[in-house]
Structure 1
């Protein structure tokens, strides 16, 4: 290293406040990730875990490389592989310098690595969120060679662990059974969690995981990291246990069919890998991530949300202006904020009367809506109800005017028969003209109808049989550039309509990631709205997503009571998709009261700390609670599932309360003229008692598919 560079390095390390000039510290209030700069200029990870004093790190010297390369001496899965202009398929990344600065709650760190033989650099970025104890990391790759360099692997993050044993919790599923939770012990070799679906990427696998270190973790015990990738496209996690029981976790874009030709001076920026470390179980990890999402990722994360009534179950695609106006009145009667018009309102040459036609032709169907959308917005407004609308802007039916006019805008293979998913194809968002078109759908809708207060953005097809005429000889850029094109459209929408609520939907929960939440206010977890199934689905999402992102609607699906279905919806962002005019008088009264009750408790549910008390995976019941920041109020949800004769439930120990405070226990959301059967209803207990002794919420004869919501409010004696 040149003398000036040595002086610069010394100054940078001094400014960062280092007493150990060979170490780089990535720290939050409770967590530390520590790297060592070796004499060989290699940067190695020497620690990850609870934050220690600086003196405790002085003897940590043995570690693994921060960003393993391919082609020289690494014998394991690399984080990066590049082929240079001369055909050399190797990299040697050595330390050049690092920068670190702190602004309010965030500490920024950049570690620059360079290849000594080629003009090739990798910058590894970290943002440590001190209060939330969350770390975000990503890489930037660039070079100054004369021609493009081919990248075949380009991870966002590589983390090393030496716990000896590892348990991986992953979330998988299918349509209508999303985020089913499974845990397994990792053995020697490689396990991958990945998606190659392009658009509806979470169809089978979700890009979230929990890695327990040393032993399986419970809600309140065990060391672990909970991690996820901020990327609405193909992803891949590689978990490699070596011969010494060391573990490497590589996270990033799935490089399948995605060799990237990086032009000179172009910067390839990977998605962000976001993770939190917990030494006291999964519950703390979830609370860390929920706070981080609300404060730093989710659009308007701490703002109020609207309760809506959707027309899909009431009408499907068969409706007219008069029928919708009747539904506005039902929304007003129910007391919700907004009416959402779902699929079926568009298309004239090819009207959208089912899923076989019309996608791409976003003009109101004149036969159904002779006065257009503007009339609907006006009629809803007269009743004091806001109006929202469904769109699927990235898709096209072959039976559409758009397909006829712009076949070059559609992803489809040359010399092959078209292959459809839900009778549709995907538009080519790598093409700027298509990006303009998709932005124009929203912009035209909002310009003509500025009273629209909500959009449901759907995406019902995965990206298979994909080929872009726009990309020509760079087809391997398709998956990456499509996702970037999607973000480009959303950036434009958000620049012009920064606070318009938009729900993210993809045939159910096919798109649920932290990057998308920067542009959307909530997501649709599943098309399965059976309340019993939803307990498991919403439970799975709760490990990573705060409740104000998880749309949960009261529908007629399933055989449970209206109260049970309503109670399940209340633990998320509640809405309705049901025929209100079919309610009995008692059901209508209950539902109107439920909307008011939800308005009263929603702030606790949306912003409070979540405590999962009893898992439906462990017992035939599910119990969870939310506690507000001041610990002055909490809401507890109790659900009995399909019970068996052997089931006998003990008291439930509460969590998150202040031991010295006193709380009144009161059951809410009861049916009209129905008193609570809870023996402790109305009683006052100390927080210490509730957390050490607990309360009985399974009184009397146990019944399947019953539920309780309990308000726990501080009382000043």
Structure 2
């Protein structure tokens, strides 16, 4: 498939047996096998990231250089069957990574390549004697750690025969050729394509920025939440002027895990009790009138609503685990079993159950989670001789079909994609969903702004949960999604100063929220130790307006930092407003902003400088 408005080409390879007998064995099936570049090409740099492991450095960016020696290679893969799970290693041959997005940069030109597969994958890049990069990749079935120096074929490429009438597919491959001053300009073309063509658009519109809240976000036990607690929290936020009904900006109410019944043997006071999924009925002791009483009250306050689900995993003692073991994948940890999306009966049950829950509970957004270690070991345990990869393929196809069916029946409903945070952020999954929990490392200011820095070149609609005790923490979290929770509202009520911080931050976010889905520019380097300055910019592609974020961490020794924004119009005049000094507007030319820059020198640590720029020479 080609796109008329972007230099993007994508494809998926399909195989089908139309005969009446088993087909010959397919082996070493590749989704991509292509070469980039030409004679006398300069050196190649591969811009990519780590995936997620629920740490502050999730999505850490990396610039890897391909060895100039013909035959040398880099091998990338993921962990456990979730496509964006893992961390880049220092291994010179097998960096791993857990991030199926790559920008191959040869200086002024190159190509972006992404694999869309919510499962296990591998990609090998290898330089040939003519300076070309050969890329080979596809679905794999082997997890690390690896001994020796494996190559792609050692990762267990698909090897199976097709039964009569059977069809299979490979991962989606998306490629974007580019010529630009540098690779960041190419990434912004990618972002524009991603938002227009690879992001769900309910009603034909881009997903609106979100500022959700709720009554629990992890520091309170999920399985002790009640209707009364939900209403008490709404009352508190309303009293402080934060809900839309009273002019505030908290526009989504989030009912997280734990609202369902638990097995009799599980103590709801155990902080891990929420993990006992598999009884998909509302706990009527804690929610006597169901969740709809809560979602209706939220809508009356001007909010839309989110409800958490995790139908893919179940634990002993629950209805799903005990009643339908034939719907569950074998192998792995018996304490956490996975629904087999490739089983038609299991698929039909999941579709019917989710539609029932949506009708009964009334959410405006369906939140899908996918926890624990990942299903790779289970897929492999279920494969039969001569059919390596069959279970994984059926599972992935069933999962994507489930999301498609949900969107077909409810075209105006958004789907949130969570998998222990951001561990299922491949291009196929994000074609159907947004990212409300980019990492399970939450309420960490350094982690939040560092993750934004790494994730934003690749993904548009994402965000995380804020710590709310300082302007630094709140501004660090601001993005397309800006999540505000105060779990301790009832036990340790916030002070007037604390409430004031939240009101100010949500007001600031409301002014700039539209920019987070526009172009993105890193304005500093990435500092893994998180002691140096970190800065970035979001703004309109035409240079009309945007927002600059600059962070001095708790241990940043340098007194000042010079911000040099990008993508502006040199001849234009810009108004610069510091959110800490809204009356101190400055007028600066685009040329001077991009070349001389703006010096920021906050006197305290940590500090979050937040500036808005806007053309002042046009109305």
**Local SS of the residue matching 1:313:** coil
Q: Is the 8 A contact 1:665 1:712 kept in 2?
A: yes
Q: Is the 8 A contact 1:180 1:537 kept in 2?
A: yes
Partner of 1:654: 565
Instruction: Quote the Cα distance in structure 2 between the aligned partners of 1:278 and 1:705.
Output: 39
Instruction: Quote the Cα distance in structure 2 between the aligned partners of 1:352 and 1:152.
Output: 49
Alignment of 1:246-325 (within 5 A): 246-254=132-140, 256=156, 258-263=158-163, 268-276=168-176, 277-300=178-201, 302-310=206-214, 311-313=216-218, 315-317=220-222, 318-325=224-231
Instruction: Quote the Cα distance in structure 2 between the aligned partners of 1:585 and 1:331.
Output: 13
Partner of 2:32: 157
Matched, 1:169 2:47: yes
Q: Tell me whether 631-640 or 260-269 shows the greater mean CA deviation.
A: 260-269
Q: Could you tell me how far 1:157 is from its partner in structure 2?
A: 2.1
Q: Could you tell me how far 1:593 is from its partner in structure 2?
A: 3.0
Q: Could you tell me how far 1:477 is from its partner in structure 2?
A: 0.3
Q: Is the 8 A contact 1:411 1:468 kept in 2?
A: no
Matched, 1:616 2:526: yes
Q: Could you tell me how far 1:578 is from its partner in structure 2?
A: 2.7
Matched, 1:663 2:574: yes
Q: Is the 8 A contact 1:663 1:712 kept in 2?
A: yes
Q: Could you tell me how far 1:130 is from its partner in structure 2?
A: 4.6
Alignment of 1:521-532 (within 5 A): 521-529=434-442, 530-532=444-446
Partner of 1:116: none
Partner of 1:193: 76
Instruction: Return 5+ residue gaps in structure 1 as ranges.
Output: 1-125, 214-220
Q: Tell me whether 519-528 or 378-387 shows the greater mean CA deviation.
A: 378-387
Instruction: Return 5+ residue gaps in structure 2 as ranges.
Output: 88-97, 142-155, 244-249
TM-score by length of 1: 0.72
Which of 461, 465, 470 in structure 2 is aligned with 1:562?
A: 470
Q: Tell me whether 149-158 or 464-473 shows the greater mean CA deviation.
A: 464-473
**Local SS of the residue matching 2:527:** coil
| Residue-by-residue CA offset, 1:189-228 (whole Å, 9 max, x unaligned) | 3321113522465244111223232xxxxxxx64433321
Q: Is the 8 A contact 1:409 1:434 kept in 2?
A: yes
Q: Could you tell me how far 1:696 is from its partner in structure 2?
A: 1.4
Instruction: Quote the Cα distance in structure 1 between the aligned partners of 2:556 and 2:389.
Output: 54
Matched, 1:485 2:398: yes
Q: Is the 8 A contact 1:286 1:542 kept in 2?
A: no
Q: Could you tell me how far 1:143 is from its partner in structure 2?
A: 6.7
Matched, 1:574 2:477: no
**Local SS of the residue matching 2:505:** helix
Q: Is the 8 A contact 1:410 1:425 kept in 2?
A: yes
Partner of 2:610: 709
Q: Could you tell me how far 1:537 is from its partner in structure 2?
A: 1.7
Partner of 2:247: none
Q: Is the 8 A contact 2:83 2:120 kept in 1?
A: no
Instruction: Quote the Cα distance in structure 2 between the aligned partners of 1:528 and 1:306.
Output: 19
| Residue-by-residue CA offset, 1:456-498 (whole Å, 9 max, x unaligned) | 2110030144159987664630111110010111111111111
Q: Could you tell me how far 1:365 is from its partner in structure 2?
A: 1.2
Instruction: Quote the Cα distance in structure 2 between the aligned partners of 1:476 and 1:304.
Output: 38
CA distance 1:611–1:183, shift in 2 (3 Å): closer
Q: Is the 8 A contact 1:231 1:515 kept in 2?
A: yes
Q: Could you tell me how far 1:502 is from its partner in structure 2?
A: 2.0
Partner of 2:546: 634
Instruction: Quote the Cα distance in structure 2 between the aligned partners of 1:237 and 1:713.
Output: 42
Matched pairs, number: 559
Query: What is the aligned-residue RMSD (CA, Å)?
Result: 2.8
Matched, 1:431 2:343: yes
Instruction: Quote the Cα distance in structure 1 between the aligned partners of 2:376 and 2:136.
Output: 25
Instruction: Quote the Cα distance in structure 2 between the aligned partners of 1:327 and 1:247.
Output: 56
Instruction: Quote the Cα distance in structure 2 between the aligned partners of 1:632 and 1:528.
Output: 34
| Residue-by-residue CA offset, 1:399-433 (whole Å, 9 max, x unaligned) | 312111111111123xxxx625xx42211111011
Higher strand share: 1
**Local SS of the residue matching 1:522:** coil
**Local SS of the residue matching 1:524:** coil
